[in-house]
Amino acid sequence: MSSPPDLAPLARVAQEVASEWGVELGRPFALSSYSFVAPAGDNAVLKVTPPGDDESDEEADALALWSGEGAVRLLRRDRKRRVLLIERARPGTDISDLPDREATAIAVGVGLQLWQCADQPFRWIGDHVPRWLDSAERSNRSARDLIPLARELYASLSVGRSTLVHGDLHHHNILDAGARYLAIDAKAMVGDAEFDVPSFLWNPLHHKMTLAVTERRLTAFAEAGLDDERMRIWAVIRGAYLGADEDEAQVLRALLG
């Protein structure tokens, strides 16, 4: 993972846009280390993404398509300055401290709302996965020994082109909004719904990945209609380029039987 950007320039943009839009910014959220994200009044959040964060380029387009179903609602955007004004989930607690079965059921329900048919302007994940694997192979990330297997598995896939994926669907990006749960921080592209499952498998941050829990989570997603084999393949591929640690790599290999 790349090092966090300097947020000071993003904070200046946020203040400028907030003044123009007539919203009052609060203290930035503590976990926001890659974008500037802060409350904007009582019921909104203002987010500024750095120019180098190309994975977030279509976040606003995805939020507009989802229209508040499964994800926070887009309220306003400034495309040039990479600023979004979005709905604030209240109370906004993520699902990381919920019992695992409950958290998994919530994630499945959110995912089923997000995995919609889409095309332009969203990019296809198939144009990016080979580059991500190449980059990981040149890096010092852990689990680099998974990369040859990941390449072999990727070559066996016919990657979908018409399903909108969140791109980073995990416990810390699913928030309690009262009567519903909503996803935030989408890295939206089109591909396979199964592409979204791996990031959930090795989260939350305090979770130590085990084969038993991972199998139980996969079963829950499979029962909702996702393809079991494709989830396992994507878990190895994504684990390889995202830098799974040694224990996680062992679990990922075991998923293939």
Question: Which residues, including other chains, have CB under 8 Å from residue 240's CB and lie 6 or more apart?
Answer: 133, 136, 143, 144, 146, 147, 149, 150
Range of lowest pLDDT (2-6, 24-28, 111-115, 153-157): 2-6
Q: What's the average model confidence in pLDDT over 27-33?
A: 80
- Reply yes or no on whether the pLDDT at 237 is more than 80: yes
Q: What's the average model confidence in pLDDT over 120-147?
A: 91
For 98, left (φ over 0), alpha (ψ -120 to 50), or beta? Answer: beta
130 & 185 share domain:
yes
The answer to whether 204 and 102 are in contact (CB under 8 A) is no
C-alpha 1/C-alpha 188 separation (Å) is 18
Give buried/exposed letters for 145-158 (b at 16+ CB in 10 A, else e).
Answer: ebbebbbebbeebe
Q: End of a domain among 87, 118, 136? A: 87
Q: What's the average model confidence in pLDDT over 226-250?
A: 96
107 & 40 share domain:
no
In the chain, the percentage of residues whose pLDDT exceeds 70 is 97
What pLDDT score does 49 carry? 94
What pLDDT score does 71 carry? 98
What's the half-sphere exposure (Cβ side, CA atoms, 13 Å) at 62? 27
Q: What's the average model confidence in pLDDT over 52-66?
A: 93
164 & 232 share domain:
yes
What pLDDT score does 139 carry? 86
Name residue 77's beta-bridge partners.
Answer: 84
Burial class (CB in 10 A: 0-12, 13-18, 19+), 198: buried
What pLDDT score does 53 carry? 82
pLDDT digits (tens, 9 = 90+) for 203-232: 999 999 999 999 999 999 999 999 999 999
What pLDDT score does 149 carry? 96
What pLDDT score does 3 carry? 54
150 & 226 share domain:
yes
- Reply yes or no on whether the pLDDT at 1 is more than 50: no
> Which position has the token pair 């393809």?
227
- Kindly report the CATH number assigned to the domain that includes residue 13: 3.30.200.20
State the chain's mean pLDDT as an integer: 94
Tell me the residue length of the chain.
257
138 & 198 share domain:
yes
Q: Give the chain's domain count.
A: 2
What pLDDT score does 218 carry? 98
For 143, left (φ over 0), alpha (ψ -120 to 50), or beta? Answer: left
81 & 104 share domain:
no
Instruction: Show the domain range for 23.
Output: 8-87
Q: Is residue 249 situated within a structural domain?
A: yes
206 & 154 share domain:
yes
- Kindly report the CATH number assigned to the domain that includes residue 232: 3.90.1200.10
The answer to whether 95 and 89 are in contact (CB under 8 A) is no
163 & 235 share domain:
yes
132 & 231 share domain:
yes
Q: End of a domain among 54, 87, 120? A: 87
In the chain, the percentage of residues whose pLDDT exceeds 90 is 89
106 & 204 share domain:
yes
119 & 246 share domain:
yes
116 & 237 share domain:
yes
